[in-house]
A and B are shown apart, each in its own frame.
Chain A
Amino acid sequence: MGTRFKDILDSTYGIRFIFSKLNLSSALSATLIKESKIMTEREDIIKAYRELKEFSDFVNLNQNNSLTEKIKIELCEIRDIRSTLKRVSEGSTPDDIELFEIKSLSMINQKVKIFMESTDIKCIKLPDLEGVTNLLDPEGSRITSFYIYDAYSDDLRMVRKELSSKKLEPEEAIYKMSLIEDRIRGYISAKLRERISDIYESLIGLARIDTLIAKAGQLKELNLIMPSQSINTTTYSGMFNPEVKELLKSDGKEYQLIDIEFSVSEPLLITGSNMGGKSLTLKTLALCQYLFQFGFGIPAREASIVAVDKVFLSVGDEQDYRKGLSSFAAEIKRIDNMLSAANSGKIILSLTDEPAGTTNPKEGTALAAALLKVLLKKRALSVITTHYNIEKIECKRLKVIGFENGAMNYKLSLTVDNCAPEEAIRIADEMGANSEWINAARAELEVNND
């Protein structure tokens, strides 16, 4: 079962932020995005970005602003009438309210269709619903309103005349009218049933236009880019976390962009001091991977990404106390799940923050080193952070630059040094932690080193 967008919406890596920044016109589009499944096929992702590119080329040109606005205003009126369409297709006769819904949809479709045809966007073709509009607007007034119009039948016109001229008792007239109206509704619903797949296509097409306009607008608003596909190596240059970037910006601070590259079957080990942004980097990698496989813009200057079957993120703050698991047990379970997926022949993205980091350093180091060793043989893109000294394992290594000239440098640099940095006490001191404690810790360290 593929991951659906709504499954990851409230994850800790910030999908909700991206979603909330999506300027959608219709609630239907939001529903459809939430229901959408992750794309794992290369072709699907290529197609999604080709479409996004077409929309971006149009939406992000200033001269098209007013046309985009016009389209968006029409799309505001799109309602989720899938259940109405389903009912009609299953043979039930729609009432006035449902016919009104179908009529307004077909009228919006016709307007948006004309707007879209004046653009260079070719990837979405709306069906022609002129016939449906005519069926539901027999008097040709092209106003979004509905009732069983007189124009449907002369009999009906006659009865209504008699009703208004009071020739007939109201009760009787209403009864006679309802018989004729029911007959007409039956006729309309039979006609609609012939076009139901077109109407459904229109509804979905309009929601896709809405979604793509919003995604394209977001590229500009959040400074996102369209990534390229890669078979073997995922590369980000200038990657950032949009939510954290915005938070920092409101504090007058700047986000330090990250460059990172990792390949299938070649785990990447990140070391670095505490507070060096390692966990955030892993979360941002998870975010980017999902954005990629749901066809959103990517927060980076450049990106080339490998599509995976599944993403595994193991970060300590996801301890699930409701299941009664300790942080260690929860972590072991997460890593175990990840390894069994890797063993099933799927290609996975495995992001592990400080594996076995909560246990004793001797066994912890062994577990972390072993994880790297095991992942080396799998079809996995793996990124692991650690504080342990893992010396003899062949893997790519990056190090957070860390404290530099009195400020934290979050950039990652290639390292040949196999030792994890020892900066914990200094950082705690900088944070203004209790000096009695810190000094005692320094003394302990000296005793141990001697």
Chain B
Amino acid sequence: MPFIEELLNYGTLSIAGLEKNTGKTETLNYILSRLPISRIRVGVTSTGIDGERVDQVTRSSKPEIFLKEGVIFTTSEKHYRERKLLSELLNISDITTSLGRLVTAKALSRGKIMLSGPVTTASLKRWIISLKKGFNVDLCIIDGALSRLSLASPAVSEAMILATGASLSLNIREIVNKTAFAAELIGLPLSQTNDIETLLGYDQGIWSIGKDGELGGPIFESAFTMENRSTMKMEDGGAIYLTGALTERFLKMISSDAKLIEKEIIIKDFTRIFVTPNLLRNYLKKGGKITVLQKTKLIALTVNPISPNGYVLDSNRLIDELSGRVNIPVYDIIKNGYKI
């Protein structure tokens, strides 16, 4: 049974999909059905924006999660009322989402539930703490979203499983390229700065960090207002901290300046990068350095070779080519008959 044993080494796990229909829900259901619930306490929730998971018209694209008895879960009031399992309500939080307050409950029977949890990174972190402290949960699982629309970053978890597949492209090489790039981003090193929590607290602007760690700024409100480059002539060394996204334009500007390229770029986590693979690789080759404040460990890839419009790719070839590019295990959960 792939990677289940390894999961027991972590306190938090996120499952993220590179696209819709990459089999994220199947992966989550696979894990939830295989975890030894009798040995460890498992808590699960989902981030992501409401529109993504609830198709109000067709009501079809809402993925339901299958829970076993004993699993703790957090969802919105609305989805709690629609649950198809027996559960004991444990807590109602003050955090509200567009689907109501978040409620935490324990499954008392097997059954299905729709999950809709914290929508910001801060509330996601609070959720992890409240489950660990309040209900002695050993492993918190986050059904995450890797969308630029999502405010809650799955990078807050210690470990991550990434779902990929034919919904990205029908060209195996392209799937491999895109997935390998995502794995590269997830692998960016953790920043060595002393005060990660302080930096995470800033929500706006671009900051300079001196050689001795002293913080200056914000030197710009955002990368968009950064017209006058001359003001970037700061002292040598040190780092630049971006509270928002790392964009093409910003990286191009840094790459083309021999002085600036020596500066380390610090971002919150890998989901903040919006640049093409070529640009990023060029920058790194030139000696540029990008670090993150929150790092997660990618422990496995799962693939779904079936595209939404019915094409089926060769699962073995997809797995082989992916394995050749990334240094982590790759599984096709559905094909290998790990039926849920």
Contacts and interface: CB of A to CB of B under 8 A. Distances in A.
A-B complex is real = yes
Interface stretch (B78-86, B179-187, B273-281, B307-315): B78-86
Interface string B79-123: 011001111111110100000000101101111000000000000
A427 B69 CA distance: 79
Main SS of chain B's interface residues? strand
Nearest to B77: A97
Contact of A97 (B69, B81, B88, B106): B81
Contacts of B111: 170, 174
Interface in B144-193: none
B89 A160 contact: no
Contact of A177 (B81, B86, B91, B105): B86
Interface in A250-297: none
Contact of B103 (A27, A97, A164, A170): A97
A145 interface: yes
B109 A97 contact: no
A200 interface: no
Interface in B45-91: 69, 77, 80-81, 84-91
A100 B109 contact: no
A97 B89 CA distance: 7
Contacts of B77: 97
Contacts of A35: none
B89 A146 contact: yes
A96 interface: yes
Nearest to B100: A97
B165 to A, nearest CB: 29
Contacts of B91: 144-145
A95 interface: yes
Given A97-B80, A97-B103, A164 B89 contact: no
Contacts of A160: 86, 109
Contacts of A144: 90-91
Nearest to A181: B86
Contacts of B87: 147
A95 B88 contact: no
A101 interface: yes
Contact of A79 (B89, B92, B109): B92
B109 A164 contact: yes
Interface string A131-165: 00000000000001111000000000000100110
A163 B89 contact: no
Contacts of B108: 147
A163 B110 CA distance: 9
Contacts of A79: 92
A210 B88 CA distance: 30
A94 to B, nearest CB: 12
Nearest to B112: A170
A318 to B, nearest CB: 34
A101 B92 contact: yes
Given A79-B92, A100-B92, A170 B86 contact: no
B78 to A, nearest CB: 10
A146 B69 contact: no
Nearest to A159: B86
A144 B134 CA distance: 12
A163 B86 CA distance: 10
A145 B89 contact: yes
A145 B105 CA distance: 8
Interface string A72-101: 000000010000000000000001110011
Contacts of B80: 96-97
Nearest to A95: B81
A383 to B, nearest CB: 44
Interface of B: 69, 77, 80-81, 84-92, 94, 103, 105-106, 108-111
25 contacts: A27-B94, A79-B92, A97-B77, A97-B80, A97-B89, A97-B92, A101-B92, A144-B91, A145-B89, A145-B90, A145-B91, A145-B106, A146-B88, A146-B89, A147-B86, A147-B88, A147-B108, A160-B86, A160-B109, A163-B86, A163-B109, A170-B110, A170-B111, A174-B85, A174-B111
Query: 4 tightest CB-CB pairs across the interface, nearest first?
Result: A147-B88, A100-B89, A145-B90, A146-B89
Given A96-B89, A144-B91, A145-B106, 11 more contacts: A95-B81, A96-B80, A97-B80, A97-B92, A144-B90, A145-B89, A146-B88, A147-B88, A147-B105, A174-B84, A174-B86
Interface of A: 27, 79, 95-97, 100-101, 144-147, 160, 163-164, 170, 174, 177
